[in-house]
Structure 1
Amino acid sequence: MYGIARSTISRAIGEIRPLLAMRGFTVPDHPGVRLRTLADVFAYAEAAGIRLRIDGAETQVRRPKAGRPGRRAFVSGKKKQNTIKTTTISDGQGRLLWSGADRPGRMHDQTAMRTEGTAEQFRLHPKVTAEVDEGYRGLANEFPDQISAPPKEPKGDAPLGEQYAWREMRRRQSSERICVEHANAELRQWRPLQRYTGRREDYAETHRAIASLVSDRSARRATRRKPSTELVLARQAAC
């Protein structure tokens, strides 16, 4: 329609995508500051006293060609599809702080985080705490004072009172962690992260580019919801 060749569009995307991927993630209430690495996220969480929420997600990708080495590494044991697994970190309000650790779908959530250096960050920042799901129980056992995982299900012959207590504890833990699920759902609104049909080698860069845009949008939305100082003072005076 506009007389532009497909190669021109592809070249433009190839130039813009790495720029977006390198932008990093917006710090809530500080738009000029960006979080680019996992170390930045933990330093910010320790300084601001934020309890992190960590969760994994999988995106379906194209199946590697037959006979290619490492083909089975992308077959997810959970989804039974060829996927790439990523890890998302948010704060208690669901604002995206970091998303990365792209690993083949066959790798366990906890292993993906460990290979990214998460355990070392928890050792370096002993005041940082986090909420995780069942897939990170090993990390929760290693750092019981910092990481909270869902309680273990009682045995089938356990008393009813113990079973009810377990359900209530699990419900409370899930409600504390639901905000990171919302952050993952916001990423899934973008079609490339629903099912990625491009080259798998470009997925990590594409994911970071989209995540940086989502981070900016969630930060702006939180700023619009935040009442101004004058409005707060007026409400207090009216009361």
Structure 2
Amino acid sequence: MSEDLSARTLDPDNPALPSALAVPHLAFAEPGTRIGSAGAAELAETVRDRSGDGSVDRVVARIREGLTVVAAAVEDGTALCAGQHQPVGAVSEIVGVGTLPTPRRRGLGLAVTAALVADARSRGVETVFLSAGDEDVARLYARLGLRRIATALIGRPAAHRPGRRVFVSGKRRLNTVKTTTISDGQGRTLWSGADRPGRMHDQTALRTEGIAEQLRLHPDVTVDVDEGYRGLANEFPDQVSAPPHKPTEDVPEGEKLGWREARRRQSSRRFCVEHANAEHKQWRPLQRYIGRREHSAETHRAVAGLVSDRAARRATVRRASTEIVLARQTAC
């Protein structure tokens, strides 16, 4: 870590607090210690997306009450790494320590953890503990003098029991893995990947994979997306087309009809990707995946490769226009 970058605790009025609370969301989307793709642009977008959900205000209230302490490594007013500890009497747990994927391997995580430990001890805490996500992270924490005392096993409630929804996601309430698919206008698979947990937002999965950056590098590429990628359409209005905003109830009926027609046309243009998804689901391994979770992404990519090769051999079909054209003109 450079000399001009140090980890410190943040007071509730610190302008870097919103970015400090947003960093772990991007960090845990790309787990591990390897350098990733999400950087300052993705962090700024995450801060904007979370600005109205009240999460910052809730943490500010906990800081003022002494229930939470936030520490961060801040550079140019933006947090690159952040974490928290939750003191309760003589015990405190360190949680949510995460480093923005692009500036990893600079010792930021260790510095933030050390700052949290120092703050906890200054408050009279006798026992500080945390949970490491994997062996690589555990070895880093051991450098601070933390030692392994136990292995945590997390149980989940049975199906249809209270609390089950915390552990599952998806329309069918199953443990799911989300895959992003890109097709051309003919419904032929061009790319399939960005495998992420089902609880992750579609747009977050796309950004952490670096797809948004490709749009910035290739301004001539245009994309049709659904409502889940509204933020991407706002960032690239000339390249990304999302469904039009629904008009208010007090607008003239003509504007409502125009909105329905514009929405229908946009839906018709992007429906080709649903045909691409349907081709993937025709393969039995993806209809109901029962293998190990760590092999899911590799299995899906293998199927997507076969689907893409087959689709590439299909002839291009001219699509009929869905535009409404003037059939005849009459005098009024």
TM-score range, shorter chain: 0.5 to 0.7
CA deviation after TM superposition for structure 1 residue 151, in Å: 0.4
Q: Does 1:170 align with 2:258?
A: no
Q: 1:55-94 alignment to 2 at 5 Å?
A: 66-67=154-155, 75-76=168-169, 78-94=171-187
3-state SS, counterpart of residue 222 of structure 1: coil
The CA RMSD over aligned residues, in Å, is 2.3
The correspondence of residues 1-239 of structure 1 with structure 2, limited to 5 A, is 66-67=154-155, 75-76=168-169, 78-222=171-315
Report how far residue 154 of structure 1 moved: 1.4
With the length of structure 2 as denominator, give the TM-score of the two structures: 0.45
Match of residue 21 from structure 1: none
Residues 132-171 of structure 1 deviation map (CA, whole Å, 9 limit, x = unaligned): 0100010000000110000011123332111111110010
Deviation at 1:194, TM superposition (A): 1.7
Q: Which amino acid aligns with 2:295?
A: D
Hey, which bits of structure 1, 4+ residues long, moved more than 4 A? 71-74
Higher helix share: 1
Structure 1: gaps spanning 5 or more residues: 1-64, 227-239
Q: Distance in 1 between matches of 2:217 and 2:167?
A: 32
Superposed CA deviations along residues 179-218 of structure 1, whole A, max 9, x for unmatched, are 1110001111012212110001000000000000111111
d(CA) in 2 for partners of 1:80, 1:195: 14
- Name the larger-Rg structure: 2
Greater relative contact order: 1 or 2 (C-alpha under 8 angstroms, separation 6 or more)?
1
Q: Taking structure 1 as the reference length, what is the TM-score of the superposition? A: 0.62
Query: 3-state SS of the aligned residue for 2:196?
Result: strand
1:144–1:112 Cα change, 3 Å: same
CA drift of 1:221 comes to 2.6
CA offsets per residue over residues 32-82 of structure 1, 9 Å max, x none?
Answer: xxxxxxxxxxxxxxxxxxxxxxxxxxxxxxxxx9538xx978622544321
The answer as to whether partners of 2:186 and 2:272 remain within 8 angstroms in 1 is yes
